[in-house]
Chain A
Amino acid sequence: MSLAAPASAAAAPAAVPATAAPPTLEVRGLRTHFFTRAGVVKAVDDVSFTVRKGKIMGLVGESGSGKTVTGFSVIGLVDPPGRIVDGEILFHGQNLARLSEEEMRKLRGNRIAMIFQDPMMTLNPVLRVDTQMIETVLAHEKVDKETARQRARDALGQVGIPSPDERLKSYPHQFSGGMRQRVAIAIALLHKPELIIADEPTTALDVTIQGQILFEVQKLCRDSGTSLMWITHDLSVVAGLADDICVMYAGRVVEKGTVDEVLDRPLHPYTRGLIGSVPSRNVRGKPLVQIPGMTPSLLNLPRGCAFRSRCPRADDACMSEPAITEPLPGREIRCVHPHLEGAA
């Protein structure tokens, strides 16, 4: 953090080129497979992306595309029968895939934090909120309990929980869903992590609360220089929140780039389909276009491009696995017939 601070902290975010600060996280060729009785599920298969320092990277894809497994791979919580079989997870240049479990534990919740999808399930129902927060502080720092409690209280205040002193003594069931997610976020913030992996943290909440939390998270990242990997299937969330985007389909990255570029001009047929299926104010009254068909089973993916059976552009060329190409500068896609027509 401190190394790059003078260069980037003061600079206007948009003016800094992508290469100015070394990335917080760089994932290269990640493969995480599940060795089930029915066969090998290639939940994550050759995934590469970068999370820039102090930026928000949106990881988008349909249900089952491997977003959560990617998140768990980064934080080292893939459980058997799953295993990272290949790839590098470079966190400030250090390959996390090679760390021991104990070294990884020291990073977790400390320098890398994760927020889960369902706030109703992430807090232990039989432990008080203060217990669950204080133990997190004590797991990584040798401080006395009172200091830890202080930290917990401050973190609750930071995420906008009123009268944090009282709330600390409550049990999770005494909180609403939105409040619980704030508690989870507060826990994630306790050690001022350099990277937060947020796995659809607002999907289970109603829209107003969702908006508040998105706003606060964005602000926190900007203020503290934290990098964020925001997992969602909701493109409109990514549009308003993220700097970069990475679109996953059936365990693979199919398109990535900056949010503005990708959303303004999607090159991959799948990304196009996703954008077409999002309700938006500009196109009110226009029927939404659904992507036909369903996500194929990861157990027996069709040969070649996994999107083939649903793609309007598919032809014989798609029968072999498309490689990653960079048809425009800074735009990587995995498709043999990208939407390049009408290029400027």
Chain B
Amino acid sequence: MTVYLIRRLMQSVLVVWVMSLIVFLGVFAIGDPVEILIAPDADQIERERAIIALGLDKPLWEQYFIFVQNALRGDLGRSFVFNEPALRLILQRMPATLELAITATLFAVVIGIPLGLLAGLKPNAWYSRTIMAGSILGFSLPSFWVGLMLIMVFAVQLGWLPSTGRGETAMLGGIQWSFLTVNGLRHLVMPALNLSFFKVSLAIRLTRSGVRETILQDYVKFARAKGLSPTRVIGVHVLKNIMIPVVTVMGLELGSTIAFAVVTESVFAWPGMGKLIIDSIYVLDRPVIVAYLMIIVFMFIIINLVVDLTYSFLDPRVRLGESKA
């Protein structure tokens, strides 16, 4: 186990390093922030001064070297725009995004798995066909459009739910959370639902195909031959087996959910990291963009590790370290 973890850690360091190179070069390629940041009527001297202040006069390799040096000390640079550490800026927005992504994943599990189970157990029933047709919509409808439709129906026409912002928040562990207040929850529901559409469909499909495959297994028939109740056969013997792929995919999806909450956050004006990155891209606030991307890389690495550990916990045949170390 320890050996396994150390190996994973070393791989992760390599990934982070390679990503930092790619991100740095990529961001460098997309344009010159000076053009945007400096007033058009500024003279040459002001210009020069600004360029030196931002450290943009140095050669690229040196800029990268300084960036890495600072990064190792936990400093991912200062935002050109806010003149605040980029890391702090992003971390401030992170809880909002995490809250949104986790709620969306929760929706996917709570809605997707039972529906997938139904569709898998009775594949020819009318409701199963309806569920599957619905899941195709969930896959193919563009997220921003669904978001706008949700706003139109539930906020504009029915007036049930608010359409922008986080609403009231409450403090927990030094962080503001929306899900702790009723008003905040009402604000959270629609964006989370919007973000979960794709994932609900994914959970339905994964669960359904898992069920279809698992109920044909000998061990399920054997479980029935033991005289177990249908509830136990489905709820324990079938479900425990299909949880393995479902948990893996849902966990891995959490990373991309966080990364791609951008659209939903924009539509619902949800003040998370996604909204910040979009704003930063508009003004080419390089340190924030780089810091954001690095944080996303970190997050993916951590999520993958957690998923692997959960996986080994769910599937006794996979014991980390035993086979891999």
Which residues of A approach B to under 8 Å, CB–CB?
A: 75, 77, 105-110, 113-114, 116, 118, 121-128, 132, 135-136, 139-140, 171, 173, 184, 187
Contact = CB atoms under 8 A, between A and B. Distances in A.
- Most-contacted residue by chain B among A107, A126, A127 (CB, 10 A): A126
A139 B219 contact: no
Contacts of B225: 75, 77, 108-109, 113-114, 116
A14 to B, nearest CB: 32
A249 to B, nearest CB: 25
Interface string B231-244: 01000110011001
B224 A121 contact: no
Contacts, number: 77
A108 B227 contact: yes
Given A77-B221, A135-B232, A125 B241 contact: yes
* 6 closest A-B pairs by CB: A109-B227, A109-B226, A121-B218, A108-B227, A171-B316, A122-B222
A86 to B, nearest CB: 23
Given A75-B225, A121-B219, 20 more contacts: A77-B224, A105-B227, A108-B226, A113-B225, A113-B226, A114-B222, A116-B225, A124-B223, A125-B219, A125-B315, A126-B240, A126-B316, A127-B237, A135-B226, A135-B228, A135-B236, A136-B226, A139-B227, A139-B232, A187-B226
Given A125-B316, A127-B236, A127-B237, A106 B222 contact: no
A119 to B, nearest CB: 10
22 contacts: A75-B225, A77-B221, A77-B224, A105-B227, A108-B224, A109-B225, A109-B227, A113-B225, A116-B225, A124-B219, A124-B240, A124-B241, A125-B219, A125-B241, A126-B240, A126-B241, A126-B315, A127-B240, A135-B232, A135-B236, A140-B227, A171-B316
B244 A126 contact: yes
A116 B218 contact: yes
* Chain B interface main SS type: helix
Contacts of A125: 219, 241, 315-317
Contact of A124 (B229, B237, B244, B314): B237
B219 A106 contact: no
Interface residues of B, number: 23
Contacts of A139: 226-229, 232
Nearest to B228: A139
Contact of A105 (B218, B229, B240): B229
Contacts of A126: 240-241, 244, 314-317
Contacts of B241: 124-126
Interface in B172-210: none
Contact of A136 (B228, B236, B244): B228
B248 to A, nearest CB: 14
Contacts of A171: 316-317
A142 B228 CA distance: 14
Contacts of B229: 105, 139
Contacts of B222: 114, 116, 122-123, 184
Interface of B: 217-229, 232, 236-237, 240-241, 244, 314-317
Contacts of A113: 225-226
B217 A109 contact: no
Given A121-B219, A124-B237, A173 B317 contact: yes
A122 B226 CA distance: 11
Contacts of B237: 124, 127
A171 B244 CA distance: 16
Contacts of B220: 124
Contacts of B224: 77, 108
A118 B232 contact: no
Nearest to B216: A79
A108 B221 CA distance: 11
A121 B241 CA distance: 13
A197 to B, nearest CB: 9
Contacts of A136: 226-228
Contacts of A124: 219-220, 223, 237, 240-241
Nearest to A136: B226
Nearest to B215: A79
Contacts of A110: 227
A173 B316 contact: yes
Contacts of A173: 316-317
A111 to B, nearest CB: 9
A109 to B, nearest CB: 3
A184 B225 CA distance: 11
A261 B110 CA distance: 63
Given A126-B315, A126-B316, A116 B221 contact: yes
Contacts of B218: 116, 118, 121-122
B317 to A, nearest CB: 5
- Most-contacted residue by chain A among B223, B224, B225, B315 (CB, 10 A): B225
A107 B229 CA distance: 12
A123 B226 contact: no
Contacts of B317: 125-126, 171, 173
Contacts of A132: 223
A230 B88 CA distance: 72
- Most-contacted residue by chain A among B222, B229, B240, B314 (CB, 10 A): B222
